[in-house]
Amino acid sequence: MKRKRVPASLSLLFIPAAALALANGPVPLDDEGLGAVSAQDGLLVDFTSGPTGVSITQIDQVLDPATANEATLRAEGLSWRAVDGSGNLGGAAHTQMRLDVGSATSSSTPTLNVAVDLDRSRIKLNNLRHGGDTGRSFGTWALDASGMLRLQTAGGLLNSAVNNTYLLGELTDATVFYRQIAHPAPYLILNDMSAKWELSRGVLGITSTGLRQATTDNSSASGAGAVDPNSLVNLALDFDLLYKNPAIGSEATEFLITGAERPMMHFGWLGSIRNMELVWKPGGVWQGTTPLAPAVTDGGASVGDVYNTAAKTQGLNFSSRWDFVSLADATALGDANKEFRWQLGEASGSGADKSRVNFELGDWVRWNPALYGHNFPLIAIDALSGQQGPGGLCWGFRYHGPTTGACGGGGGSKQFVNIQPGYVAGFTDAAVNRTDGTAKSMALMIRDGNLMSYSRRVKFLERDAAGVVDWTRDFKWGLIYTFANVDANAYVYAGGNPGDLNGGLVVDLTLMSQTFAPSDNAATGTINESLYQGFNWDHGSHLMIADTDIDKDGITGETRDAMGIGLVSSSFMVLANDMRIWVKPHAVADSFYDGGIDLMSPQTRFALSTTFGGGVLPDATGSYGTGPKVIKASLIRLNFEGLLNARLSPAAPVGGSANPCSAAVTGYNCKNYLGYSWAMRFMDTNYSAANTYGVAAFSENTTGYAGWGGSAAQLGDYGSYLSFAEPNQPNVDVRLSNITGDATLEQGVIDIVEHDQDGDNTPKLRISHTMKLGAAAGARMNDAISGRNSGANPSTALAAGGQEFRVDRVLLGPANLGRIVVPSAQIYSSLTLRPQP
Amino acid sequence: MSWMTRSLLLAFLLPGVPVGATTLHDLNDEELEAVSGREGVIVGLEMYYNAQKSATVALDGTAIGGTAGAPDGNCTGTNNACRLALQLAGREARNLDNTKIGGASTAQAVQGEWLVIKDAYFALKMPSLYLDASLMGSGTNMALSSAAAYETFFDVGRFLNSSGTCLLTDGSASGTACTTANIKNTPALAMRHAASTTSYNTTTGVSSGYDNLSLSLKIGRMAVEYDTAACTYTGGASCGYNQDTKGSFLGLHIRDNNAPFAGIAVGGKMYLYGF
């Protein structure tokens, strides 16, 4: 069948025996409708499909047509039909849309009311493909849900001058399924999902920049003022992440909830945000060849070319910014449910027992003086053809440009890193590899994102077998993570699943969050420190545990009343080339560590530059009071280069032989835990543009260390290392460097323990695993490298698992102290956090 | 005096307050917090290096089980998995004239030397380390007393760098003055262990209360082993750390007479602060 391509539109609609009912005349309005509009005739569209639902063969979206960048995103095999709560398909799909035009009772302004209701049904996408690569598929998705949409707006649809638009979109009792290859391959389930976005009053209109949505308090350039009770976004995204391998139970039908699903974790965003603006704009990836004008200067001199993110090709991008509604805001609003909360923790299984423990991070506040708690000005999405990339990122520097421009020269330390789109390598089956740069991808780019807010309250929520909360406890703690200056390039390719190499996901990831010094130091004229990494308490990436009410008076936000401790003013970078994302089957019933979500990259780098320390958190006005505000205990630098496999696995049943906890061994049981296991091969990769496909300057140093007595250049290559230094003596560090060999984390458990489980009336967070080094790590490493070759050279096989673990240089400053070798070891460790009695 | 003691005292002293007239009720969480006055964290850590974790006291902290000779096997037998090797700088394989093997030197080559710790395992348990945020001079939590008497211990010289600049910082370029007031306002991480009541029964030989730290350690054998000629920088079976030919010159074992873990009681508080 020849298919007609129409940019961004339906290409072919196939509606079998669809019945379309139109009713034109008096309409039964609900209370909301009656209150909002003066009663006039409306329009009711009631749609009921035929008994087998609706199906669409294919939808193509063509980007950059008739150019070298032309790329097509293809949704293939869309269907819509009724479904019950367990995923059993029913008959006709049904939806109803009501349209009414009138005027608000208080004025004569014309008002449009739109109401859409969707009966519970399944919307399924058989395959998402790249149009130029139709043999491969990103996978299959299904959404089971009932939903509704409400829109009430005055002055015409999408009128940006109107600031009293009401918008509600909601999915209830939803289930999302994702599977990479054909049934009965394992799939992931977002179960018991609720999703809601309700703009209580604000702007929804088209402006010169794009489709803008904003609350009415989004006008301050100096941060949020008093909360406007009439202009909030009430939102929810709440689900249990489950895993299921239907092959184990020989389930004949796909996408069913049968009770055989196993819990992984719960995720929930609940509450409200304020001071919000979300703008959808045209334009995807920018060309990494166009410089920005005018030029950026550093120390008085131009830094050279900086990529111009405004020169975009066709695609989609958006900006988002908001503040979270704090506990005090919610109290002022008189509605505790408006406090923004993030719930994490255990998922319940899909069977009768819904008991689980979650913890909830609440009372979020902006890290004053940041303007917004969440501020991501540029997130772009695009379908790419081959090497159509935005250019790389600059590790160590605020602006991104090529080595011949902003990321070259200058006085400070910086490194250009770029994993280009278009290349897939490192699979043993050559059919997956595309080393000529023609691989088609989906791209996600982030620039200058900042998450500068933190939670000041932790609450434990225990649920009984019926899923009802039956025990809670609040603590004025914060588990703080802030991310400053986030930049990322992610390219997602179809294929790579070992069960069917044409299905699955392969990702090239370049991600960094950098903390830059707060200001230029006039004493050093050659560079502007605020463009380079440094210590910055007010605008840094921090990972801390915090006491948010030191004086215990129950009030947060007082001066010098909160302090955090952890890794502060961090800069980190993640590079992963050709990382396979595999929804991996497990082989034996009730034993799950070999299955789950499996990430594997033969060419990975994780760089971290941070300070172990802490400090006083800002008060409600952004002030710190009198006295020192930060503690710096140790500078820590970490550089990992090598192979990484990270796997998250669902929980095994309590009492089962595969459960890592038992009365006999650990003295306690683990229930509904999140399992994890990692395999890491430490290397001195020395990857440079010369020996990899589409990767520029991957390693921190590409010279290569070759033992004692080498050249100065060789001795300057520390490979994979971990270093500690005094904050005021950064050059004298203790450095475990040139680390090579295999290390695995096995039988990993993240478990939240109920308060009455251990007999001490205290809830706990417990993390444990067994680390294996050297020969002991062989079995898990061999499991990890199955199907993969070297990322640097796809025809080179990876060495077998069990490589001895060596630290080839222990350094104190420049002095070499010696070597450490661990031929084999296993180390069980556990960390338990609990509140003081 | 705790909040509760004060409150009770106040209740007895105030005439007309009907003590005990109202029904007793369970304290809710917030009231409980007020009683203890803490919202800090307790950290529990366990680490078993080539040692097994077991709920059976006699096994907990002993060497890992498993098959002798297997990669993750046990800690007995020749060249078993429970090894760790150190090579001090200057003891690498080299020519006698201190040049790297493989170069122009014709001097005799000597093999690298390794200090190999064999049949070794250890386990460490720290069940309850109390962590609190604190200001150094605050009297509200566990911090130092705010009594002025202690302020005489303040020595400004400890907070200056070699050029005499105060190292205390508020994050500004100009820093903060090294004054008593600023030291008292310095944020600190406070750490302590729960108080221990210890005893030792000389008749039964059983101790109790030594549970802030528990340690089990065994180094079965320790020896200097040598690379063989085939050993290269990239390692392998011919290198000294994989040899087991020189027996032992030292062993070490720390345990309790009743169980693999020796108990340690720790008192006092520690404040971590820096600049």
Nearest residue of A to residue B30, measured between CA atoms: A474
Question: Rounded distance, CA A601 to CA B262, Å?
Answer: 43
**CB–CB of B46 and A828 under 8 A?**
yes
Question: Rounded distance, CA A224 to CA A219, Å?
Answer: 8
In the predicted model, is pLDDT for residue A233 greater than 80?
yes
- Collect all residues of chain B within an 8 Å Cβ-Cβ radius of residue A833: 41-44
The token pair at A21 is: 């009912």
Share of chain A above pLDDT 90, in %: 65
**What is the overall mean pLDDT for chain A?**
88
The token pair at A497 is: 């699943």
The whole-angstrom distance between A288's CA and the closest CA on chain B is 37
Among the listed residues A811, A663, A794, the one whose alpha carbon sits nearest the alpha carbon of residue A724: A811
Report, as an integer, the average pLDDT of A404-429.
Answer: 88
Instruction: List the 677-706 stretch of A: residues with Cβ below 8 A of B.
Output: 706
Which pLDDT does position B230 carry in this prediction? 86
SS3 sequence of A748-784: EEEEEECCCCCCCCCCEEEEEEEEEEEHHHHHHHHHH
Alpha helices in A284-344 (DSSP H): 327-333
pTM above 0.80, yes or no: yes
Instruction: Give residue A411's identity as a one-letter amino acid code.
Output: G
Instruction: Give SS3 for B163.
Output: coil
In the predicted model, is pLDDT for residue B168 greater than 90?
no
Which pLDDT does position A725 carry in this prediction? 95
Which pLDDT does position A742 carry in this prediction? 96
How many Å separate Cα B245 from the centre of its chain? 34
Among the listed residues B153, B50, B200, B115, the one whose alpha carbon sits nearest the alpha carbon of residue A770: B50
Task: For B198-248, write each residue's pLDDT tens digit.
Answer: 999 999 989 999 999 999 999 999 999 999 988 887 788 889 999 999 989
Question: Rounded distance, CA A743 to CA A736, Å?
Answer: 15
Question: Rounded distance, CA A423 to CA A643, Å?
Answer: 18
Confidence of residue A103 (pLDDT cuts 50, 70, 90): low
Confidence of residue A40 (pLDDT cuts 50, 70, 90): low
The token pair at A677 is: 């296991």
Question: Rounded distance, CA A576 to CA A581, Å?
Answer: 11
- Collect all residues of chain B within an 8 Å Cβ-Cβ radius of residue A521: 173
Report, as an integer, the average pLDDT of A67-71.
Answer: 91
Instruction: List the 581-640 stretch of A: residues with Cβ below 8 A of B.
Output: 613-616, 624-633
What's the count of helices (H) and strands (E) in chain B, helices before strands? 3, 12
**Beta-ladder partners of A152:** A113, A166
Task: For A550-609, write each residue's pLDDT tens digit.
Answer: 887 888 889 988 999 899 999 999 999 999 999 999 999 999 999 999 999 999 999 999
Among the listed residues A735, A530, A772, the one whose alpha carbon sits nearest the alpha carbon of residue A634: A735
Angle at A345 between CA A341 and CA A348, to 5 degrees: 115
The whole-angstrom distance between B226's CA and the closest CA on chain A is 14
Residue A781 φ/ψ, nearest 5 degrees: -65, -40
The token pair at A456 is: 């000041």
Instruction: Give SS3 for A280.
Output: strand
Among the listed residues A578, A616, A620, A613, the one whose alpha carbon sits nearest the alpha carbon of residue A599: A578
User: Under 8 Å CB-to-CB from A648, ≥6 apart: which residues?
Assistant: A264, A596, A597, A674, A675, A676
Instruction: List the 37-56 stretch of B: residues with Cβ below 8 A of A.
Output: 37-56
- Collect all residues of chain B within an 8 Å Cβ-Cβ radius of residue A663: 55
**CB–CB of A820 and B86 under 8 A?**
yes
Of the two residues B138 and A813, the one the predictor is more confident about is A813
The token pair at A439 is: 């691989």
Q: How many Cα atoms sit within 13 Å of A93 on the Cβ side?
A: 24
Judge whether B156 is closer than 8 Å to chain A, CB to CB: no
Query: Mutate which of A479, A611, A629, A770 to disrupt the B interface (most B C-beta within 10 Å)?
Result: A629
Task: For A105-140, write each residue's pLDDT tens digit.
Answer: 666 677 899 999 999 999 999 999 998 889 999 999
Give the burial class of A744: count Cβ atoms within 10 A of its Cβ; 0-12 exposed, 13-18 middle, 19 or more buried: buried
Among the listed residues B116, B115, B98, B117, the one whose alpha carbon sits nearest the alpha carbon of residue B107: B98
Among the listed residues A515, A343, A438, A517, the one whose alpha carbon sits nearest the alpha carbon of residue A693: A438
**CB–CB of B100 and A708 under 8 A?**
yes
Sign of CA dihedral B143, B147, B153, B154: positive
Among the listed residues A698, A666, A669, the one whose alpha carbon sits nearest the alpha carbon of residue A685: A698
Nearest residue of A to residue B44, measured between CA atoms: A832
Q: What interhelical angle do B29-36 and B3-13 show, nearest 10?
A: 100
The whole-angstrom distance between A589's CA and the closest CA on chain B is 25
The token pair at B185 is: 């306002």
The highest-confidence range among B148-157, B161-170, B186-195, by mean pLDDT, is: B186-195
Residue with tokens 């369970």: B26
- Give the DSSP letter string of A579-617: EEEEEEPPSBTTB-TT-EEEEEEEEEEEEEEEEEEEEEP
Confidence of residue B142 (pLDDT cuts 50, 70, 90): very low
- Collect all residues of chain A within an 8 Å Cβ-Cβ radius of residue B129: none
The token pair at A376 is: 């991501």
- Collect all residues of chain A within an 8 Å Cβ-Cβ radius of residue B91: 818
Sign of CA dihedral B62, B64, B65, B69: negative
Question: Rounded distance, CA A383 to CA B143, Å?
Answer: 58
The answer to whether the CB of A244 falls within 8 A of the CB of A213 is no
Question: Rounded distance, CA A440 to CA A580, Å?
Answer: 15
In the predicted model, is pLDDT for residue A494 greater than 90?
yes
What is the Rg, in whole angstroms, of the alpha carbon atoms belonging to chain B? 29
Report, as an integer, the average pLDDT of A737-754.
Answer: 95
**Range scoring the smallest mean pLDDT among A103-112, A577-586, A713-722, A817-826:** A103-112
**Range scoring the smallest mean pLDDT among A733-742, A749-758, B10-19:** B10-19
In the predicted model, is pLDDT for residue B109 greater than 90?
no
Judge whether A459 is closer than 8 Å to chain B, CB to CB: no
Which among B37, B168, B189 has CB closest to A552?
A: B37
- Phi-psi group of B8: left, alpha or beta (phi > 0 → left; psi -120 to 50 → alpha; rest → beta): alpha
Report, as an integer, the average pLDDT of A48-75.
Answer: 94
Task: For A358-382, write each residue's pLDDT tens digit.
Answer: 999 999 999 987 889 999 999 999 9
The whole-angstrom distance between A710's CA and the closest CA on chain B is 9
Instruction: Give SS3 for A738.
Output: strand
- Phi-psi group of A566: left, alpha or beta (phi > 0 → left; psi -120 to 50 → alpha; rest → beta): left
Among the listed residues B87, B52, B45, the one whose alpha carbon sits nearest the alpha carbon of residue B72: B52
- Phi-psi group of A354: left, alpha or beta (phi > 0 → left; psi -120 to 50 → alpha; rest → beta): alpha
Measured in Å, how far apart are chain B's first and last C-alpha atoms? 34
**What is the overall mean pLDDT for chain B?**
78
Question: Rounded distance, CA A676 to CA A598, Å?
Answer: 10
The answer to whether the CB of A461 falls within 8 A of the CB of A343 is yes
Confidence of residue B148 (pLDDT cuts 50, 70, 90): low
Confidence of residue A31 (pLDDT cuts 50, 70, 90): low
Angle at A385 between CA A381 and CA A389, to 5 degrees: 60
Confidence of residue A428 (pLDDT cuts 50, 70, 90): very high
The answer to whether the CB of A202 falls within 8 A of the CB of A214 is yes
Judge whether B180 is closer than 8 Å to chain A, CB to CB: no
In the predicted model, is pLDDT for residue B4 greater than 90?
no
Instruction: Give residue A1's identity as a one-letter amino acid code.
Output: M
Among the listed residues A333, A245, A84, A298, the one whose alpha carbon sits nearest the alpha carbon of residue A590: A245
Residue B153 φ/ψ, nearest 5 degrees: -75, -15
In the predicted model, is pLDDT for residue A34 greater than 50?
no
Give the burial class of A400: count Cβ atoms within 10 A of its Cβ; 0-12 exposed, 13-18 middle, 19 or more buried: buried
In the predicted model, is pLDDT for residue A95 greater than 90?
yes
Question: Rounded distance, CA B30 to CA B3, Å?
Answer: 13
Task: For A640-672, write each residue's pLDDT tens digit.
Answer: 999 999 999 999 999 888 999 988 888 888 999
Judge whether A562 is closer than 8 Å to chain B, CB to CB: yes
Residue with tokens 């038992």: A662
Residue A815 φ/ψ, nearest 5 degrees: -85, 130
Which pLDDT does position A505 carry in this prediction? 97
The token pair at A117 is: 């209701």
